[in-house]
Amino acid sequence: MQRRGGITLPSPFGRGEGVRVTANAEKTQIMRARLRLRELILSGEFRPGERLAELPLVQRLGASRTPLRLALAALEHEGLLRGLKGGGYVVREFTLADISDAIELRGVLEGTAARFAAERGTPRRELRALRTINDAVHELVHRTDYESFERYVELNERFHADLVELAASPLVNRALEAIVSLPFAGASSALILAEAELPESWEILVIAHRDHQSLIEAIERRQGARAESIAREHARLALANLEVVMRHTDVLARLPGASLLALPRDGVHA
C-alpha cells in the first residue's frame, strides 16, 4: 500500500512485488557495474597500483554509490582489486607466480570436478554432449584461419563449463568462478589472440584436444584418479601457452589483463 495526501492507495505491485522488483533492479546495477569495471581494468584503463576514485566511477559507469561500492567489494573478492586500510581500492598487479598458482588451482578444481563426475557416474547423454563438442573441436585444430580459432575458443569454453557441471557440485563451481576471473587463469584466457597469430600455440591445441578425449574416456570408465590427473595436467597447457605469448610482446600487449602483468625485465622478446 502507498500513502498519498493521507489516503492509502493500493500498491501497483502484488504483495511483496515492489520490494522484489527494487531488489532485482539493485542486483542488476551491481552486476552491470561489476562487469563494466572488470572490463575497464582488464583493458588497461586503470594501471596497477592506481587508486579507484568513487565519484568519477559513479559518473563514468552511470551507477549509484551503493551498487558501485558492492561491485568494488566483489572485484576485491575476485582478486582484481586490493583494499586499502584507510578505505578505498587500488588495482592489483600480478606476477607470473600469481598466474601460475591460479592456473594450478584451476587444475586442482577441474580435476576434482572430473573425479566427481567419474566416481559418481555421468549419464550417457551428457557424455555424448561432451563428445559432440570435442568432435567439433577436432575439425578445427589443424586449421589456421581466424574464424576456426574463434569457433575453437567458444567450444573450448563450453567443454570446460560442461565438464564442471558434470560434478554437480555448487561448491566446486563457486570456487572455480573466483579463480577464472583472474587474468590468464581461465581455460581460454591466453588463447584470445595467440592461437590466431602464433603457430607454436596451434600445436598446443592439438594436445588439448587429445586431453579432452582422454578425459571423456576416463569419466565414462569411472576412473576417478585418472580423470583428475588428466584435468590437472591439462590446465597447465594454459601456462605453456602464456609462455609462448610472452615471447611476442606485440601479441601480449593486446591480451586482456596484460597491463596488470609484472613482467621480468628480460622475460619477453619482440
CATH number of 249's domain: 1.20.120.530
Range of the domain at 128: 94-262
Identify the pLDDT of residue 191.
56
Per the model's pLDDT, the better-predicted residue between 196 and 228 turns out to be: 228
Q: Are residues 106 and 233 in the same domain?
A: yes
**Average pLDDT of the residues in 220-231:** 97
**Is residue 4 in a domain?**
no
Domain end: 34, 69, 91, which one?
91
Work out whether strand 89-91 and strand 81-83 pair parallel, antiparallel, or are unpaired. Answer: antiparallel
Whether residue 100 is found in the same domain as residue 142: yes
Query: Would the pLDDT of 229 be above 70?
Result: yes
Same domain, 123 and 70: no
What pLDDT score was predicted for residue 269? Answer: 43
Q: What is the DSSP string of 53-64?
A: -HHHHHHHHT--
Q: What is the pLDDT of residue 207?
A: 87
Query: Which of the two residues, 27 and 166, has the higher pLDDT score?
Result: 166
91, 109, 136 — which closes off a domain?
Answer: 91
Q: Is the domain of 100 the same as that of 75?
A: no
243 and 192 part of one domain: yes
As a whole number of Å, the end-to-end CA separation of the chain is: 67
Residue 89 DSSP SS3: strand
User: What pLDDT is stored for residue 107 in this prediction?
Assistant: 94
My answer on whether 159 and 86 are in the same domain is no
On whether residue 172 sits in a domain, the answer given is yes
Is the confidence at residue 219, as pLDDT, over 90? Answer: yes
What distance in Å separates the CA atoms of residue 236 and residue 266, rounded to the nearest whole number? Answer: 23
Give the residue from 91, 122, 157 where a domain finishes.
Answer: 91
Give tens-digit pLDDT for 10-19.
444 455 555 4
Looking at the structure, tell me whether residues 114 and 208 fall in a common domain: yes
Length of the chain: 270
> Do 164 and 128 lie in a common domain?
yes
Q: Do 87 and 81 touch, CB atoms closer than 8 A?
A: no
Task: Identify the band that residue 262 occupies on the pLDDT scale cut at 50, 70 and 90.
Answer: confident
Are the beta carbons of 184 and 99 closer than 8 angstroms? yes
Residue 268 has pLDDT above 70, yes or no: no
Tell me the H-state helices in 43-169.
Answer: 54-61, 65-78, 96-120, 124-138, 146-166
Q: Based on the number of CB atoms within 10 Å of its own CB, is 204 exposed (0-12), middle (13-18) or buried (19 or more)?
A: buried
pLDDT score recorded for residue 270: 39
Whether 211 and 119 share a structural domain: yes
| 124 band by pLDDT with thresholds 50, 70 and 90 | very high
Q: Is 2 contained in some domain?
A: no
Q: Is residue 269 part of a domain?
A: no
Residue 46 lies in a domain: yes
Q: What is the pLDDT of residues 125-155, one digit of tens each?
A: 999 999 999 999 888 777 666 677 778 888 8
- Distance, in Å, from the CA atom of 125 to the CA atom of 142, rounded to the nearest integer, reads 28
Per-residue pLDDT reduced to its tens digit, 38-89:
888 888 899 999 999 888 898 888 888 888 999 999 888 888 899 998 888 9
- For residue 266, pLDDT beyond 60: no
With respect to residue 75, please indicate whether it lies within any of the assigned structural domains.
Answer: yes
- Does the pLDDT at position 1 exceed 90? no
Q: Domain check: are 83 and 98 in the same one?
A: no
What is the domain count for the chain? Answer: 2
Say whether pLDDT at 114 is over 80. yes
Same domain, 123 and 77: no
| Phi, psi for residue 186 in degrees, rounded to 5 | -70, 165
Task: Evaluate whether residue 3 is within a structural domain.
Answer: no
Residues 101 and 223 in one domain: yes
Kindly tell me if the per-residue pLDDT of 254 is higher than 90: no
Note whether residue 77 is domain-resident: yes
Domain harbouring 56, CATH code:
1.10.10.10
Kindly state the average pLDDT of the residues 238-248: 79
Quick one: pLDDT at residue 230? 97
